[in-house]
Each structure stands twice: as C-alpha cells, then as structure tokens.
Amino acid sequence: MRVACKIEECNIQGDDEPTIDPDRPGVCAICSRCGDEALAYGTGEKSIRRALMSLREECSRGEDNFYVAEEDGAESRMPDPVVKPWWQK
C-alpha cells in the first residue's frame, strides 16, 4: 500500500546512524502509519528519496509498502484518471 510520509528538514550528524543534531542539513521522513523516522543527508529530492528508502527498509515490517513524500501538490502531480461516460465504456 501507499504510505504518505511527512518530510521535514532537519540537521543531522553521524555517519552510520544519523541523528538529529544542528550539524549538517538533512531531511527526516516520518511514516504516517507508525511514526517511524528515517534520516538522510541533504535536502534535495535525492535525499528525500533516500530517507523514504530507509524508511521502507526499517518500518515496513514485512509489508510491501510504497513510501511517498507527503507534500503540497504531490497528489496533483499524478494525472487524474479520465472518467469516461458510460456510453464510451
């Protein structure tokens, strides 16, 4: 299933296990289902994707979830399904 994750910018430090600290800019992805957090360095789209990847590894608990960034306009980027009138089906 699709799990929306809140993306927050934060400062993190540490190499193996990043922790929140006013050191380096990073992003924090927060799972909307269980509240798990995953951190990644940087604030670009790649960093967000990396945070979502580790969130998937860490908190899906065997579920085949697809973690996506929950941000303004994220839904509207997906084209709306075209609903055909009944006589065209």
Supply the minimum distance, in Å, between the C-beta of residue 80 and Zn ion: 28
CA dihedral of 41, 60, 58, 9, whole degrees rounded to 10: 20
Tokens 């430090």 belong to which residue? 13
The smaller minimum CB distance to Zn ion, of residues 13 and 36, is found at: 36
Of 8-16, 19-27, 53-61, 73-81, the segment contacting Zn ion by CB under 5 A is 53-61
What is the distance between the alpha carbons of residues 17 and 5, in angstroms, rounded to a whole number? Answer: 20
Q: Does 49 bind Zn ion (CB under 5 A)?
A: no
Residues forming contacts to Zn ion in the complex (CB under 5 A) are 31, 33-34, 36, 59
